[in-house]
Amino acid sequence: MLESFEALKNWKSAIREQATYRLEILVCAGTSCLSSQADTLLEMFTHEIHEYSLDAEVVLTPTGCFGFCGQGPILKIEPDNVTYVQVGADDVKTIVDEHLNAGRIVEHLLYDPPGQKRSTSEAGMPFYQKQHRVALKKCGVIDPENIEHAIKHSAYEALGTVLHTMDSDDVIDIIKQSGLRGRGGGGFPTGLKWQFTSTTQADEKYVVCNADEGDPGAFMDRSIMEGDPHTILEAMTINGYAVGANQGFIYIRAEYELATQRLFKALSDARKHGLLGQNILGSGFDFDIEIKLGAGAFVCGEETALIHSMEGYRGEPTTKPPFPSDVGFRTLPTNVNNVETYANIPSIILEGQRWFQSIGTKNSKGTKVFALAGDVVNIGLVEVPMGITVREIVEDIGGGVDGDKKLKAVQIGGPSGGVITGDDLDLPIDYDSLQSAGAMMGSGGLIVMDDDTDMVEIAKFYLEFTEDESCGKCTPCRIGTKRIHEILHRLTDMEGTPEDLELLEALCNNVKNTSLCGLGQSAPNPVLSTMHHFKNEYEDYAYRRKKTSYSIDADKCIGCTRCKKVCPVDCISGSVKTVHVIDESACIACGACDDACPVDAIIRP
C-alpha cells in the first residue's frame, strides 16, 4: 500500500536498483502476434530457458505491440538491442542455442527485406525511423501484466505529481495549453472538454474511457490497452481529479477479451497498491474505476449512445445539446475521452505542455497512432508526429505500395472517412488540413489502395458496414444508409442508370446533413469522397454499365503480346511488335494484363 508520493518514488527506485538479468527476451504478446502463435513461442522459451538452466540469467517478458505487425511474431533481445522477426516455433531452439548461449546473432531471423539493408534493430528499419512513440511508449517495453514494470518506467508518477503539487484547475490549464485534441476522431480540444465538465455544478460527476474502438481494422486503442493498461488508469484518475469526479468507467467492446483481461489485472494491482481507491497516495483524493462491456454495436462508440448503454438502455444516441459535460451518465456531468487521448496525459504532465507543443503542427499537437494496412509493404501500428505527410507514412514508413502496383488512393478515417489521391500525398497529417481536403483524421485507420482497387466497391463495402451498424433511431440513417447501399449495389450489379448518380449524391448530402448522430452524419463520406475523386468509375457503372477498364499507354507498349495472351475476355488486339489496344467496352478490369506487362504500360484512367 503506497501511502504517499514518496513511497511511490521509493518503490520505483527500489525496482530500478534490482539486479538485472543478463538477457531479456521481449516477445510481443498482443492479439495480432498471439494469433500467429506467439503464445507457443512464450511457452517454448519458458521451457528451453529452464532446460538450459538459464533461469537466473535470462528473463522472458511478454509485451504489448511492437508495431511492425506484418513482420510478426516479433521478439527483441536486450540489452543486445537485437530484433528478430517472423519468428516461428522452430526458431526457438536456435535462438536459445545460438544467441542466448553462444552470443551469436541468428542472421536468418533478422529483418532483411528485398532490395534493402538487413538490420539488427529497429533503428535500422525504415518502418521505425520517422515514428515517435508517445501513446505507445511502453508498448513493447514492459510486461503489461506486471505493475512493477510499469512503475519502473514511471507509471503513476504523473498522478503523484498532480495530486501533490497541482490544483484541479492547474491540470486543466496544462492540458489546454498542450493543444491535445481528442484522438477518437472528433478532434475536439481535450482541455476545453475537461473544463466544461469541471465547471458544471453537480454532487457527482463521472469520467469515461471510450474503448469501444469500432472502426473495422482499427486496433490502436486495443494495442494501447493490451500493452500498457496502467497508463489509462493513471490518466483517468488524473482526469477525475481535474474535473471533480471520483468514479470512472471504461466502456470496452466485449470483443477485446485480452485487453479487458489486462485491464482487470491492472485494476486489481493498482488497488492493491493504493493507486486506486480511497486516499490515493495519501492525497485525500478517492477514485476508482469500473469496467463495462459493450455488446457488439459500433454506434456505442458515440458518446451519448455509450452512456445510455452503460445506463442499461438501448445503445442509441440522443440529441446534443445537452452535451455529456452537462447531462451525461445518470444525467450527471460526464467527461468521455478516447483511449489514445488518455494515453498522452501522463507524458504531458511529466514532460510538460511545452514539450507536447513542440511536436506536431500549429493546430494539431502531439502524435497520432495509425493502423497502417492495405496494399502497402509494411503493415502495422505506427505512431507519428502530426505534420508528417501522408507520403512519408505510405512510402518511408510503409515501404510503398506492395507488388508492382501504383498507388491509387489512401483511405483515412475508416467508415466515417474519405480518400485522398496521389495528388494529395504531400498533405500533412493534421486535423484541419485533412478536413479541408475532404478527408478526416478519424480514429487512425489508414488504408493504402493500389490501382486494382474498384473505388465504387470500396464505397459499397463501407456502406454495408454502416447500414448494418445503424441503430435505427433516426429516419435518414435507418432508411438512408440502406437506400445508399442499394444504389451502390445497383451500380455494381450493372443495373445502374445516370439518374442513380444524381440521386446518390443528393441522398448522401441529405443523410449527412440530417442524421441525428455522427454515425449517420459520416456514413456517406466514403461515397462522397470517392465520387469526387473517381467520378469516372461511377460514371462507367451508371452510364455504360461496366467497370472502369484498363488501357494501354501507346508510348510504353513494346508489343510483346503477353497481355493479349492472359486476357480472359480476349479484348486486347495487336500483333507482335505493334502497339496493343484494349477494347474498353469489353474489358472487365481484372488486372491480369497489368500483372503480365513487363514494361508497366497498362494504365487505369
Partner 1 sequence: MHVPSMQSLDLEEATMGKEYSSVRITINNITLEVDHGSTVLDAAKQAGINIPTLCHLDLHDLDAINQSANCRVCLVENETRGNLVPSCAEIVQDGMRIQTDTKKAVQGRRTSMELLLSNHPKECLTCVKNLDCDLQELSNSMNIKDIPYQGEMMNHPVDDSSGAIIKDPNKCVMCRRCMTMCDEVQTVGVLSPLKRGFDVSVGTAFHLDLSETSCTYCGQCVSVCPTAALAEHPHVPNVWRRLNNPNRHTVVQIAPAVRVAIGEMFGYEAGEISTGKLIAALRRLGFDGVFDTKFGADLTIVEEANEFLERLNNDGPLPLLTSCCPAWVNFIEQKYPDLLDIPSSCKSPQSMVGSLSKTYYANTMGIDPQNIRMVAVMPCVAKKAEAARDELAYGEQRDVDYVITTRELGAMIKEAAIDFNNLPDDSFDDILGESTGASSIFGTTGGVVEATARTAYERVTGKTLENVEFETIRGMEGLRKASVTLNGRTINIGIAHELKNARKLLDSIRSGESDLDLIEIMACPGGCIGGGGQPFHHGDINVLNKRREALYTLDKNNVRRKSHENEQVKTLYQKFLGDIGGQKAHKLLHTSYSKKLRI
Question: Shortest gap between Cβ of 315 and partner 1 (angstroms)?
Answer: 9
In the complex, the residues that contact partner 1 under the rule CB under 8 A are 297, 299, 314, 316, 319, 321, 467-476, 478-483, 486, 503, 506-507, 510-511, 513-516
Question: Shortest gap between Cβ of 514 and partner 1 (angstroms)?
Answer: 4
What amino acid occupies position 267? L
Question: Shortest gap between Cβ of 296 and partner 1 (angstroms)?
Answer: 10
In DSSP notation, 101-157 reads: IT----GGGSB--TTS--BSSGGG-HHHHT---STTTTTTTS-TT-HHHHHHTTTTH
The H or E element containing residue 601 is none
Smaller CB separation from partner 1, 166 or 503: 503
Smaller CB separation from partner 1, 317 or 346: 317
Question: Shortest gap between Cβ of 499 and partner 1 (angstroms)?
Answer: 8
Is the Cβ–Cβ distance between 185 and 440 less than 8 Å? yes
- Tally Cβ neighbours within 10 Å of residue 381: 30
What's the CA gap between 605 and 593, in Å, rounded? 15
Question: Shortest gap between Cβ of 555 and partner 1 (angstroms)?
Answer: 45
What phi and psi, each to the nearest 5 degrees, are found at residue 302? -75, 130
Burial of 239-275, coded b for 16+ CB within 10 Å and e otherwise, reads bbbbbbbbbbbbbbbeebeebbebbebbbebbbebbb
C-alpha cell at 323: 452535451
Report strand pairing: 75-78 vs 82-84: antiparallel
Question: Shortest gap between Cβ of 518 and partner 1 (angstroms)?
Answer: 12
How far is CA 520 from each of CA 72, 322, 431, rounded to the nearest angstrom?
Answer: 36, 19, 20
Is the Cβ–Cβ distance between 430 and 386 less than 8 Å? yes
Smaller CB separation from partner 1, 265 or 490: 490
Question: Shortest gap between Cβ of 127 and partner 1 (angstroms)?
Answer: 39
Smaller CB separation from partner 1, 200 or 231: 200
Question: Shortest gap between Cβ of 393 and partner 1 (angstroms)?
Answer: 32
Smaller CB separation from partner 1, 405 or 512: 512
Is the Cβ–Cβ distance between 520 and 481 less than 8 Å? yes
Question: Shortest gap between Cβ of 458 and partner 1 (angstroms)?
Answer: 21
3-state SS assignment for residue 62: strand
Smaller CB separation from partner 1, 244 or 346: 244
Smaller CB separation from partner 1, 265 or 482: 482
In DSSP notation, 500-556 reads: HHHHHHHHHHHHHHH-SSHHHHHTTHHHHHHHHH-HHHHHHHHHHSSPPPPEE-TTT
Q: How far apart are the first and last CA of the chain?
A: 67
Question: Shortest gap between Cβ of 318 and partner 1 (angstroms)?
Answer: 8
The CA dihedral of 575, 578, 579, 581, to the nearest 10 degrees, is -20
3-state SS assignment for residue 296: coil
Smaller CB separation from partner 1, 53 or 319: 319
Those residues whose C-beta lies under 8 Å from the C-beta of residue 228, and which sit 6 or more positions away, are 64, 136, 137, 138, 139, 142, 144, 150, 343
Smaller CB separation from partner 1, 111 or 251: 251
Question: Shortest gap between Cβ of 321 and partner 1 (angstroms)?
Answer: 7
Smaller CB separation from partner 1, 527 or 572: 527
Question: Shortest gap between Cβ of 472 and partner 1 (angstroms)?
Answer: 3
Is the Cβ–Cβ distance between 514 and 507 less than 8 Å? no
Peptide bond into 322 cis (omega under 30): yes
What amino acid occupies position 135? A
Smaller CB separation from partner 1, 480 or 496: 480
Smaller CB separation from partner 1, 13 or 435: 435
